[in-house]
Structure 1
Amino acid sequence: MAADSGYEKRNETADLRESITRARVVLWDFDGPICRLFAGHSAEGVADGLVEWLEGRGLHGLLTDAERESLDPHAVLRAVARRHPGSDLVAELEERLTQEEMRAASSAMPTAYADPLIRTWAALGLRLAITTNNSPRVVAKYLTTRGLNSCFAPHIYGRTQELHLLKPHPHCLHRALRATGSAPDTALMIGDTPSDFLAARGAGVPFLGYARNQDKEKALRGAGATTVVNSLDAVLRLVRDQA
């Protein structure tokens, strides 16, 4: 069993090296691979706040019990958008979520090794883009505080009013590929959730999973991801070796 595990690890390292070598454009999810957006501003608290706001407007019955208890602000937003697509209610709820994300950006925790990896790839001439379900305004705010905006601008593709196109729909990846003039097989996406993996698969883009803990890794592998790292240090070392 240990021998099999070692063989699988070598294969995964080889797959990672090949993906990095082939990539000419890297599509990054934001919350997870680049930073923990809600490190100091609880996502669960934000979700509760959205639910309370809906209930304060007499819309308690708009969500199921499971949706009210999901602790995921995007799940709350999606649920309302499915029932009232394109409505003023959805637009107002989305803006409330954006404002909460903007507050969270001030206390976001950078993901270890993300900053130097981004700067190294940019220095090597790779094109970088953000493909996220978060607001592009929030992404721009965070990247500016880290001095990273020039590594990505103008290629930040985040949440729009068309909420049915959030990942796992590959829409934001397609936008990034078109804007950078890139074929899917010359790209690499870095994400930390099953929806990231499914979006990459839908766009035909090779996928690298980032899992900061065992639960994240289990979820990614359960969705079908085969190349997963627990630290971006491994990616940074391979990129520097090939520079």
Structure 2
Amino acid sequence: MVRRPLGNHHHGPDTLLVTSDATKQTVPVAEATESLRELIKRARFVLFDFDGPICRLFAGHSAERVAVEQVRWLEERGLHGLLTEEERAEPDPHAVLRAVDRRRPGSDLVVELEERLTQQELTAVASAWPTQYADPLIRTWYAVGAHLAVTTNNSPAVASRYLATRGLTTCFAPHIYGRTQDLHLLKPHPYCVQRALGALGATPEASLMIGDTPSDFGAATAAGIAFLGYARNERTAKVLREAGAEVVVSSLEPLLGVLRERGESD
């Protein structure tokens, strides 16, 4: 069973939303909430990135350790020179996987490394932490009639397993789109976003993607849909703003509030 966070983490009233205006400053909550209301009002099709907006997949199973193990596995096979020093120090296992794919595209090496990463992700599900407010947000959005999908660079089997542990499968199934062995199709390529939109019968103007990385923003932009950034710390918020995200939330609580307002007014 996936562990639940202990207690709530309070976010001050000025940290709920920030925008990428000219000064990159936090805007008043009332103004920011109105921007959020507009995004949510238009969104009949909502695409969630998985690791970040829905959960912290590697909360109890370090992503950095997985990346180190990937590098060690390559070195044990005499492939030390396949990665640069910078790539060997990369704490993101997806970055290591991409680097190998650039050098050996479509090779058995890439297939095996991707399968090893999938197994590590599946192991991580048992200690993943739900993102605060994600579960009720998903259930509420589904209850008010939105069509939901997961669009992730993680394995779709991993997202499916996690959602099952939270009782959220019916909110998304069968619309869970993730990493394939064609690694050049990982976000920021819009492949998984376009697959979701096509399967949902979604129109771009009625769609919204929620993500926590510039690659999520890039995929949403390439697919022509609105984007809402989720950043659990200021470093992530800064990176998203610099990438061009116009609305970034540091908590999912205000989204839930807007949806509940809408439900009460219907």
Please say whether Structure 1 and Structure 2 have the same fold, judged by a TM-score greater than 0.5. Answer: yes
Whichever residue aligns with residue 72 of structure 1, its letter is D
60, 72, 75: which one aligns with 1:40: 60
Q: CA deviation at 1:152?
A: 0.3
Q: CA deviation at 1:6?
A: 7.3
Cα distance in structure 1, aligned partners of 2:27 and 2:218: 26
**Structure 1: segments with no counterpart, 5+ residues:** none
Q: Are 2:167 and 1:147 aligned?
A: yes
Q: CA deviation at 1:9?
A: 4.8
Task: Point out the structure with the larger helix share.
Answer: 1
Q: 2:33 touches 2:254 (CA, 8 Å); kept in 1?
A: no
Deviates more, 1:7-16 or 1:205-214: 7-16
201, 225, 236: which one aligns with 1:216: 236
Q: Which residue number in structure 1 is paired with residue 179 of structure 2? A: 159
14, 23, 34: which one aligns with 1:14: 34
Q: Which residue number in structure 2 is paired with residue 25 of structure 1? A: 45
Cα distance in structure 2, aligned partners of 1:222 and 1:6: 14
**Structure 2: segments with no counterpart, 5+ residues:** 1-13, 15-22
Cα distance in structure 1, aligned partners of 2:28 and 2:183: 38
SS in 1 for 2:251: coil
Whichever residue aligns with residue 211 of structure 2, its letter is G
* CA-based RMSD: 1.4
Q: Which residue number in structure 2 is paired with residue 85 of structure 1? A: 105
Q: CA deviation at 1:153?
A: 0.3
Q: Are 2:76 and 1:56 aligned?
A: yes
SS in 2 for 1:97: helix
Cα distance in structure 1, aligned partners of 2:101 and 2:126: 27
TM-superposition CA deviations, 1:54-83 (whole Å, max 9, x none): 000000000011111011100000001111
Q: Are 2:144 and 1:124 aligned?
A: yes
Distance 1:7 1:43, change over 3 A: closer
Q: CA deviation at 1:172?
A: 0.6
Q: CA deviation at 1:84?
A: 1.0
Q: CA deviation at 1:7?
A: 5.6
SS in 2 for 1:208: strand
207, 211, 215: which one aligns with 1:191: 211
Whichever residue aligns with residue 156 of structure 1, its letter is I
Q: 1:68 touches 1:76 (CA, 8 Å); kept in 2?
A: yes
* Structure 1 length-normalised TM: 0.96
Cα distance in structure 2, aligned partners of 1:49 and 1:230: 31
- The count of residues paired between Structure 1 and Structure 2 equals 241
Q: Which residue number in structure 1 is paired with residue 220 of structure 2? A: 200
SS in 2 for 1:154: coil
Q: 2:212 touches 2:240 (CA, 8 Å); kept in 1?
A: yes
TM-superposition CA deviations, 1:160-188 (whole Å, max 9, x none): 01100100111110000000000111111
Identical pairs, percent = 66
SS in 2 for 1:167: coil
Q: Which residue number in structure 2 is paired with residue 76 of structure 1? A: 96
Deviates more, 1:15-24 or 1:4-13: 4-13
* Structure 2 length-normalised TM: 0.88
Q: 2:74 touches 2:80 (CA, 8 Å); kept in 1?
A: yes
Q: CA deviation at 1:13?
A: 2.2
Cα distance in structure 2, aligned partners of 1:194 and 1:14: 24
Q: 1:25 touches 1:188 (CA, 8 Å); kept in 2?
A: yes
Cα distance in structure 1, aligned partners of 2:203 and 2:256: 23
